Amino acid sequence: MGALAAPDAVSPVLSVRGVAKRFGELQALRDVSFDAHAGEIVAVVGPNGAGKTTLLSIIAGTQRPSAGEVVGPPRARAQGARVGWVPQQTALYSKLSVAENLRLFARLEKLAEPEPAVQRMLEQTGLLERASDRLERLSGGNRQRVNVAVGLVADPPVLALDEPSASLDPRQRERLWEFICARSRGGTGIVFSTHTLGEAQRFADRVIVLDRGELLFDGPPQAFMRQVDGRGAGEAGSLEHALVAFLEQLGR
């Protein structure tokens, strides 16, 4: 669904190379490597404690890897562009309005012209009429839209979202995915983590399966389901069934 813009195999917008993360005795990530390309939607899935949030945090730059590196496209690096980041919970100022939040982060991102960027995000997220409302007065869905808008205000080449639809109702979830897919069609690479495997199956071009910090699979969702079926797991039918079967096959 998000693959209208053909992935550029030669020049990925994001390269995760041999990333490992250790918290004391706990090895949260082990030698994880993959690429994300322009316009591609990559879902990071796995059970609780698999290392999804840690991987997203390292991609977003809020944590440093113990080993390995995360590299963006050369042109974006030269322009000082960062990976756009949408944390799981809204990371914004509740006493500021929607526009003030966007304006603040546009300025902190040192955009040459912050106002047009703010207007663009307000239009794209459908929050133009709520621009002057304080965040504390918005619904959870609208707050998450602002959260995503702030992650995109600097028009980053790649956007990392940590369980973006976790606190949304079905209608809000649908609207959020419409917006994310539109960005993907515009060429933004999307990497998101989720527990809702139906979303990964429906929207992702590729899934990264993590468990106990290890990357166990990297490929299209259909390929993952076929692989699980091929191992005699029966008719997987859905990505969710496939993942459960896959982990059971591995004895996890």
Partner 1 sequence: MRWLLRKDVLILARSRLLVALLIAYPVAIALLIGFAISRSPSRPRVAIVDETPPGQTVEVGTRRVNVHQYTEHLFSQVQPVNVGTRAQAVAKVRSAQVLAAVVIPPDIATRVSSGTIQAQLELIYNGNALVQSLVQSQLRSALAQANLGFSEQIQQAAAGAIDVLLRGGNLGVLGAPTNLIGLSSIPPLLRHVLARQPPGPDRAALERVAAFADFAARNLRLSKNVLSTVGQPIRIHSVLLHGRRTPLDTFAVVVAVTVSLMFVCILLAAGGVALEREERALARLVRGLVSRETLLAEKGSLAAACGFTVAFAMLAGVSAFVTLEWSRAGLWLLALAFGAVAFGALGVAIGALAREVRAASLLAFLLSLPLAFLALVPAGSVASGLYDATRVISFAFPFKPSLQALDAAVNSSSPALGVSILHLAALTAVFGLLARVGLRGAD
Q: Name the residues that contact partner 1, by CB under 8 A.
A: 57, 60-63, 82, 85, 87, 89-96, 100, 104-105, 107-109, 134, 150
Nearer to partner 1, 99 or 236 (CB): 99
Minimum distance from residue 47 beta carbon to partner 1 (Å): 22
What count of Cα atoms within 13 Å lies in the side-chain half-sphere of residue 148? 29
Minimum distance from residue 170 beta carbon to partner 1 (Å): 25
Own/partner contacts of 236-241, CB < 8 Å, gap of 24 or more, are 238/197, 238/198, 238/201, 239/45, 239/197, 239/198, 239/200, 239/201, 239/207, 240/197, 240/198, 240/201
Nearer to partner 1, 162 or 211 (CB): 162
Report the alpha-carbon distance of residue 195 to residue 202 in Å, rounded: 13
Identify the three-state secondary structure at position 87: coil
Nearer to partner 1, 22 or 107 (CB): 107
Nearer to partner 1, 53 or 201 (CB): 53
Minimum distance from residue 154 beta carbon to partner 1 (Å): 10
Nearer to partner 1, 2 or 114 (CB): 114
Provide the 8-state DSSP code for 154: T
What are the CA-CA distances from residue 252 to residues 47, 211, 223, 244, 248 (Å)?
Answer: 10, 9, 21, 9, 6
Minimum distance from residue 16 beta carbon to partner 1 (Å): 16
Minimum distance from residue 64 beta carbon to partner 1 (Å): 8
